[in-house]
Amino acid sequence: MSLVELKGVVKRFGTNTVLDDVSMNVERGEIIAVIGRSGSGKSTMLRCINGLEPVQGGTVVVDGETVSAPGADLRALRQRVGIVFQSYNLFPHLSVEKNITLAPRVVKGIDPGTARELALGVLRRVGLAEKIDAYPDQLSGGQQQRVAIARSLAMQPKLMLFDEITSALDPELTGEVLKVLEQVAAEGMTMILVTHEMGFARRVATRVVFMHQGRIWEEGGAREVLEKPRTPELATFLDAVLH
Amino acid sequence: MIREFAAIDVYYLLLAARWTLALTALAFVGGGLFGIVVALMRVSPFMPLRALGAAYVNVVQGIPLLGWLFVFFFGLPILASVQVSSWVAATVAFSFYAGAFLGEIWRGCLQAIPRQQWEAGAALGLGFGEQLRHVIVPQAVRVAIPPTVGFLVQLIKNTSLGAVIGFVELTREGQLTNAATYRPFTVYIAVAAIYFAMCFPLTQLSRRLERRLRVAR
Amino acid sequence: MNYRFNFRDIWAQTDFILEGILVTLALTVVTMLSGLVIGTLGAAARVHGPRWLSTMVAAYVEVIRNTPLIVQLFLVFFGLPSAGIRLDAMTASMIALGINLGAYSTEIIRAGLEAIPRTQVEAGRCLGLSGVQVFRHVVLFPAIKVIYPALSSQFVLIMLATSVVSQISAPDLFHVASIIQSRTFRDFEIYAVVSGIYLALALAMKLGFAAIHHLAFGRR
Ligand SMILES: Nc1ncnc2c1ncn2[C@@H]1O[C@H](COP(=O)(O)OP(=O)(O)O)[C@@H](O)[C@H]1O
Ligand SMILES: [Mg+2]
């Protein structure tokens, strides 16, 4: 069974249909790059996958749990599905350690000693072990985003969602975050990432999904989609982002 | 018999100011409890609770404090079938009244925390209560302190109306002193000065805290 | 609870209650106007006035905001006669309420004036507008937009606060209530009814101010 199964998903905000019959399967270990113009529904699709947005039609199944069912255990689901946002969303009142260990302590009930070890472990993976006692406002944007990734990793998720996590960063900080992503990918994590970094998508993604007007317009292997667009919409889009 | 206004009268006024402060403290504790409930109701994901909270605030804030004092003073005995002291009536009325204002202040502070913070908590698997307790409230408290101190000033001044249901605090003591000495100007200047001495430092504190908060951002 | 509510005696006093409502409304309108005038002058003095005047206005605002209205009222009504100034209850009420609202309005209007960034004024001057034109188009309208919500809720608060004038027997709605109370001994009922009337007045004011806001500033 696939890790993620979207079947005919429909999402509306009022009368605005934002996801229109979206179907997609993601296997374990896959790395999906989602591309598309602003407003095409990329973020909304990610948010539907971890139940931050309820859907109006179709089904969303993640790791055997039907997210779109009325009584779904979203809290249990979210322990298995991490999400990292464009705007980091670290907790400004908590140190890096506490940011990372809040959910493991509160939700999983691990003890403080183990928690610090856990924090150190994930911080090493993002190369920020020395910042364990810093506060978010003492870190650069790139460092904050890496902490956000570490915070997500600390829940030991089976799936990670990344929503344009380098879009708010200066170009020189983008590299360090992408490097971390690449490494997480190399460790075998299943990932769905919305990105405008085409070079990165080509290098790392096993599959590229192009969204347009709330639909999956084209999908396929990274090379194939990025180099041989079949639809004029994708061709126009690629033209715009590559120049 | 009319006597002279003397130093001893100032002393009595100061003693009465203790009851002003005591009533303020009681009202703040009671109002704080109401206020927490109201603020939480107003940010809850459950619509009827939000509506109920809003209704409470609008009704309390739409009626003069004098009205509430009398409604509780005469209404509580009907409810409880026993006479209640002005202490009880005043404490209940002021708590009820302060709860609406504090609830509104604190709701604003909770809502000042960006929606993304709730969401980041939810995305980590925290439930509503856990998001509130670990993510939202600790941030909101910092924002809440200056306006809460500011409200304390309102409360101190408002307790002066407790006089109308016979609660002897600073203003009532002023009336009594005036009746005995018939020196209204002197007496009420002294009363005003004592209120000012209690309120002004708090006003300044509230301002300073607010400035510090703004700088910290 | 075996109390028997009785609102009939209060119904019989409708005309009297209406008189009280009129007095309360009249007091509110007069207070709003005088508070607005004092507040505008006070804010102008605070922002543009010479230092001594600005300091004096600041002191006035602090003294008023850190003492209870009822004590201010007692000072005007009971205190001033010993300085040879004798006022009837209505006049004393209007003076005390106006002075009180004036202090709050001064602060609100000052904050509104200071909310307009200096760069806006400079930009206006750079476009060749005169001082008066800048004030009208760049300062005044945006400032009113900032001031309006705070000021209109202050107006509702002062309407409710006019009830304290009952304590010096000015014939407002709340004083009417206390007279009806002593006539009918229906303590709870009369205060519940009168409270309901204040609530209706407050809601009507809020709606009115919201409507004006909508007309003046459009959707936004
Ligand atoms: N909370 C919301 N309420 C109303 N409309 C929304 C909301 N979130 C997103 N939308 C709308 O959904 C559409 C898709 O948004 P989004 O998924 O954020 O696009 P993308 O991430 O591809 O830029 C947009 O038209 C946006 O305006
Ligand atoms: Mg997006």
Helix axes B184-216, B137-158, angle to 10 degrees: 170
Q: Take residue B60 and report the two structure tokens written for it.
A: 């309390």
pLDDT confidence of residue B217? 59
Counting beta carbons within 10 angstroms of the beta carbon of residue C168, is it exposed (0 to 12), middle (13 to 18) or buried (19 or more)? buried
Q: What is the pLDDT of residue A233?
A: 94
pLDDT reported for residue A16: 94
- Residue in A with minimal Cα distance to B134: A102
The secondary structure of A81-140 as a DSSP string is EEEE-TT----TTS-HHHHHHHHHHHTT---HHHHHHHHHHHHHHTT-GGGTT--GGGS-
- Give residue B79's pLDDT: 84
Mutate to test the pocket of ligand 1, among A10, A18, A196 (most ligand atoms within 8 A of CB): A18
Q: Is C76 in CB contact (< 8 Å) with chain B?
A: no
Domain ranges of chain B: 7-216
If one counts the domains in chain C, the total is: 1
Residue A39 lies in a domain: yes
pLDDT in tens, C35-63: 999 999 999 999 888 999 999 999 999 99
Q: Which residues of chain A have pLDDT under 50?
A: none
Distances (CA, A) of A201 to A77, A195, A197, A208: 27, 8, 6, 7
The pTM of this model reads 0.88
Domain span holding position C162: 8-217
Looking up residue C135, the CATH number of its domain turns out to be 1.10.3720.10
Contact of B124 with A151, CB cutoff 8 Å: yes
Confidence category of residue C219, pLDDT binned at 50, 70, 90: low
Pairing mode, strands A4-13 and A57-62 = antiparallel
In a domain, residue A126? The reply is no
For residue B60, pLDDT over 60 is answered with yes
Q: What is the ipTM of this complex?
A: 0.93
Integer Cα distance of B1 and A209 in angstroms = 95
Q: How distant is the Cα of C166 from the closest Cα of chain B, in angstroms? A: 10
Contact yes or no for B207/C61 (Cβ under 8 A): no
- Say if C136 is an interface residue toward chain B (CB within 8 Å): no
Q: Looking at the domain assignment, is residue A116 inside a domain?
A: no
Per-residue confidence at B1, pLDDT binned at 50, 70, 90? low
Structure tokens at C182: 């002593």
Residue A236's domain spans which residues?
4-87+159-242
Over residues B61-82, the mean pLDDT reads: 91
- Lowest model confidence (mean pLDDT) among A21-35, A225-239, C13-27, C115-129: C115-129
**Phi, psi of A162, rounded to the nearest 5 degrees:** -125, 120
Q: Given a cut of 90, is residue B78 above it in pLDDT?
A: no
pLDDT above 90 as % of chain C: 66
The answer to whether residue C2 is domain-embedded is: no
**Given phi > 0 = left and psi -120 to 50 = alpha, else beta, which region is B85?**
beta
Residue of B124, B126, B131, B137 to mutate for A, most A C-beta atoms under 10 A = B124
Residue C82 inside a domain? The answer is: yes
| Average pLDDT of chain B to the nearest whole number | 93
Which atom of ligand 1 lies closest to the CA of A53? 1
Strand order in the sheet with A65-66: A16-26, A4-13, A57-62, A65-66
Ligand 1 pocket check for A78: Cβ under 6 Å = no
**A207 CB within 6 A, ligand 1:** no
Which tens digits make up the pLDDT trace of C148-194?
999 999 999 999 999 999 999 999 999 999 999 888 888 899 999 99
CB C195 within 8 A of CB C72: no
CATH class of domain segment(s) B7-216: mainly alpha
Compute the distance between CA of residue A136 and CA of residue A132 in angstroms, rounded to an integer.
10
**What pLDDT score does A21 carry?**
94
Mean of the per-residue pLDDT values of chain C: 91
The CATH number of whichever domain residue A26 belongs to comes to 3.40.50.300
User: What's the CA gap between B112 and B100, in Å, rounded?
Assistant: 18
> Is C3 inside a domain boundary?
no
Q: How far is it, in rounded angstroms, from Cα A19 to Cα A13? A: 10
- How many domains are there within chain A? 1
Give the pLDDT band of residue B166 (cuts 50, 70, 90): confident
